[in-house]
Structure 1
């Protein structure tokens, strides 16, 4: 469904030959939209802007959409949508289970790489944003009709498993009773042991070789560490209401067998060259090369991520690949994409994007750390928010605070402020939804129902109705630009406009078609708030 603003803009552009750059009117008496297209055309033609505006108005055929446009000031054109058109559009949107979200005409297969915790370590504050942001992208793109394939790129391979498994052997540890917190404590003990005991370090290196060569005992311990970790991760995902499951796991280890063939392919075709004993790829515009194979013959992140791209294009048939990580990894991904293009693993028709995000800061404005300077477990942040509100409200507060700012910006984790039901917060939007539910519930209890929206006489009614019609185009922008804060801005504005409407336009105390129409506006607001909150991964409670 094309939004009313889009329809109006297209009509004007057909007549003028240029984008009218419609803007919302600054005051209700000026209508709903305003355009300066006449002023821009008059400057090109060297004529009076009001004369150009008059010509445009005379040529426009908008009777089915707008009242007669008005010329204001030096040549602005004001447009007022017909109230019947607004009413019909919102009524149709209310009947649509998708709440007006357009279904894409060009569905894509979209890979989203996000969350990516490390085995044997609890998820920490650094995993908060990637998980929340990636989950939002998943929901938005799915809602538009794309096929989304999440990829949880677990850190499940590497030299650290040598020390972990050797420490398990040294301690004769019973892995059947270990949980994720215990596995992380084991990691710390193994790391300290590695630093203090060269004999242990030598055995840990040998254990890495045993793991890579498929030693059954070593593999069994490795698999058990992964099982323990997944149990912990899944508990956190469930608590956070995110969509990731075990089916979405594609850890580093899944690409191991591909690495020698990729290195051989790149070297054979001259894409990669030897440099000081290492196999590398120099990409134009980058000072340092991508390391395909280091001088000791080992493989690292660069080639593993390259293998992931090849798999996602060749096997998963990706049209678009989105990576959600810390902004500080932006250079790595830009180099990765450049190398993948050079190698032919990333065809021109496949879009690859890195969405970098800022840090979560404490009240002092510095990155959140534990008292001893360590990383803060993700669970402790969720606990902190729940000290101020119920789990449902606390999670809303965290997700909205994360998504409502431009992703690249750092933000302060202030649990008390985030959980308030006033101001620009997730709980405020939940409260607006529950208020709508309360009004509709009371109407049903009285035997009053809405037969559709027919009357939109008051300015606040029209303003709310017009805003409701813009929901679908907002979701489309978020999908195209990967900017969830724009959906947050839209929903906050919707809740604010609803509050103004509710104060100025009695709902249940009105009568007849006016009451039915106002109830329709309440129902449409509830529907859009619920749908919009769900796209953010936030529950919409009926009562608060």
Structure 2
């Protein structure tokens, strides 16, 4: 109902300005107009509420109810508002409850069924297709296996990207892989020591081998002076473009990339890799520009920027180190180079208007510092936006960081395999109980959809800022706010719709009407879908969509259980099947936005 909401807000503003707001108070009105109309706090209050009269009473020193009576009278004289509102009622000290016209809601239901986005409007900016949003997510490190920490970034980032794509933005999904830095000196040195005769032998190494390879090289680096010396020399060779060093580096990256791609395939994630190495040629210019703008200072041999409003325990300004004492660059330098490149116009940059970084909460201070320096250097255009999307830890049911019994971090690949395995076990038990026979193909596909969907939904349904406890038992349950519950509801609706194919003539029927209270509750819940999507675009909280879907499924299941859909006269049947059709469409689209496949049966 986003379009209706915008029209209603516009008409309320016009009426206020024409009848109640005096010229000398217009500036004060500008400060309060953003929350002129809000969602009704309870269904019995209508669709929306307006609390402006309580605010105006403080400005004009008048009784709020008197202002409300005067305002409602003026609103009823507005023809456009009369076409939108069934009722405007004053409640309490001066609240105005707003109930929309039924025929308006029915028209929206019909329209949303035909709309490929289920009623979600494209961005209201006329040039939305020209607005490029970059979502930076996942970001694993070379020679290290993806673990549960990468799971949150990958799932949250993918969902946010899908929502912006639905709204009509051009979205660039970037995987800022850790493929550069001093650690590659010791990795390449170890690689050359083991495969000096033929580097192609590394093709036989798996990601697990690489992890052990990394541990071994780190141990040598810490304990062998000669190895440490050669490793540091190797970094210089790599940065200067030595052919054999570059070849070894590429081999290491390619072996890790195979593992990453396998995980992304399982999760059905589309993402473009652009590692830290891409920005290496731009690091020198970062130093030059910050020096030219007199932002960079030297402190104890390092070049840094002292941050405004960010202090250490002693109350001194925190430094963001741009160039280390030994002349090396670090993550902050690379992130600044990436940010500047992304905002720059093509062909020398990505020409982004908004950049969204999805990383763990522990990097919040780092990005706050990077964003501050970028703003002080004027690298973020005035009409552009940059956001850090932090998330908490994945914990075990004991409330501690999720790890294996041996104390190691759980590998993402193992976690996904375990979820699919458990989903298959649950499915086989259910088939046996129901005496149902299904093909092996059906069992494998259904298990994968439920297993992967359960993991994704369990993550996305949480407020991303907080930690959450990982439990296979809870996430695979058919009851509660889980992916299996949503999928089960979708299967139920799809079955109804398959047996009673709704054609466009039926949807367009003028005889569509509703009288049951549960019908109207479902209608109003369906029509809130676009408002949920638009809100996520603003605050980047995908759990809003999960909460909405759970409530939508609850509304539909109450409707299904208590209202006859098929054994009624034809007009009523068509009307109720119309609600089934839109519920199915909204659920399928929403699951797609969460990166979860749909099922016809389960």
TM-score (norm 1): 0.93
Query: C-alpha deviations, 1:441-476, integer Å up to 9, x for none?
Result: 122399x96555711111111111122112112111
> Residue 26 of structure 1 aligns with which residue?
42
Question: Which structure 2 segments of 5+ residues have no match?
Answer: 18-32, 311-316, 424-446
> Residue 428 of structure 2 aligns with which residue?
none
Local SS of the residue matching 2:118: coil
1:184 paired to 2:211 = yes
Counterpart pick for 2:123 among 104, 113, 123 = 104
> Residue 86 of structure 1 aligns with which residue?
105
Q: CA deviation at 1:533?
A: 1.3
Counterpart pick for 2:494 among 425, 437, 451 = 437
Query: C-alpha deviations, 1:155-200, integer Å up to 9, x for none?
Result: 1011221222222222237212122222222112222232333332
- Are the counterparts in 2 of residues 450 and 519 from structure 1 also a CA contact under 8 Å? no
Q: CA deviation at 1:517?
A: 0.8
1:275 paired to 2:299 = yes
1:326 paired to 2:384 = no
1:220 paired to 2:247 = yes
Cα gap change, 1:70/1:179 in structure 2, threshold over 3 Å: closer, same or farther?
A: same
Find the aligned partners of 1:281 and 1:167 in 2 and give their Cα distance: 36
Query: C-alpha deviations, 1:192-216, integer Å up to 9, x for none?
Result: 2323333322222222222222222
- Are the counterparts in 2 of residues 3 and 473 from structure 1 also a CA contact under 8 Å? no
1:469 paired to 2:527 = yes
> Residue 489 of structure 1 aligns with which residue?
547
> Residue 56 of structure 1 aligns with which residue?
71
> Residue 11 of structure 2 aligns with which residue?
11
TM alignment of 1:57-456, pairs within 5 A:
57-59=72-74, 60=76, 61=78, 62-72=81-91, 75-106=94-125, 107=128, 108-172=131-195, 174-244=201-271, 248-286=272-310, 287-314=317-344, 315-389=349-423, 390-444=447-501, 452=509, 454-456=512-514
- Are the counterparts in 2 of residues 388 and 416 from structure 1 also a CA contact under 8 Å? no
Q: CA deviation at 1:383?
A: 2.2
- Are the counterparts in 2 of residues 421 and 427 from structure 1 also a CA contact under 8 Å? yes
- Are the counterparts in 1 of residues 392 and 466 from structure 2 also a CA contact under 8 Å? yes
Find the aligned partners of 1:270 and 1:75 in 2 and give their Cα distance: 56
- Are the counterparts in 1 of residues 86 and 102 from structure 2 also a CA contact under 8 Å? no
- Are the counterparts in 1 of residues 567 and 573 from structure 2 also a CA contact under 8 Å? yes
Q: CA deviation at 1:52?
A: 4.2
Query: C-alpha deviations, 1:465-488, integer Å up to 9, x for none?
Result: 122112112111101111111111
Find the aligned partners of 1:185 and 1:425 in 2 and give their Cα distance: 37
Local SS of the residue matching 2:390: strand
Bigger mean CA deviation after superposition, 335-344 or 36-45? 36-45
Cα gap change, 1:112/1:139 in structure 2, threshold over 3 Å: closer, same or farther?
A: same
Cα gap change, 1:141/1:162 in structure 2, threshold over 3 Å: closer, same or farther?
A: same
Local SS of the residue matching 1:349: coil
Bigger mean CA deviation after superposition, 403-412 or 205-214? 205-214
Local SS of the residue matching 1:217: helix
Q: CA deviation at 1:254?
A: 1.0
Find the aligned partners of 1:323 and 1:25 in 2 and give their Cα distance: 33
Question: Which structure 1 segments of 5+ residues have no match?
Answer: none
Find the aligned partners of 1:45 and 1:262 in 2 and give their Cα distance: 54
Find the aligned partners of 1:68 and 1:236 in 2 and give their Cα distance: 54
Q: CA deviation at 1:40?
A: 5.1
- Are the counterparts in 2 of residues 385 and 416 from structure 1 also a CA contact under 8 Å? no
Find the aligned partners of 2:400 and 2:565 in 1 and give their Cα distance: 48
Q: CA deviation at 1:358?
A: 0.5
Local SS of the residue matching 1:430: helix
- Are the counterparts in 2 of residues 9 and 20 from structure 1 also a CA contact under 8 Å? yes
CA RMSD of aligned residues (A): 2.4
- Are the counterparts in 2 of residues 25 and 78 from structure 1 also a CA contact under 8 Å? no
Find the aligned partners of 2:516 and 2:162 in 1 and give their Cα distance: 35
Find the aligned partners of 2:101 and 2:204 in 1 and give their Cα distance: 68
Q: CA deviation at 1:35?
A: 4.2
Q: How many residues align?
A: 539
Q: CA deviation at 1:529?
A: 0.9
TM-score (norm 2): 0.84
Query: C-alpha deviations, 1:201-243, integer Å up to 9, x for none?
Result: 2222222222222222221111011111111101101111222
> Residue 498 of structure 1 aligns with which residue?
556
Cα gap change, 1:271/1:511 in structure 2, threshold over 3 Å: closer, same or farther?
A: same
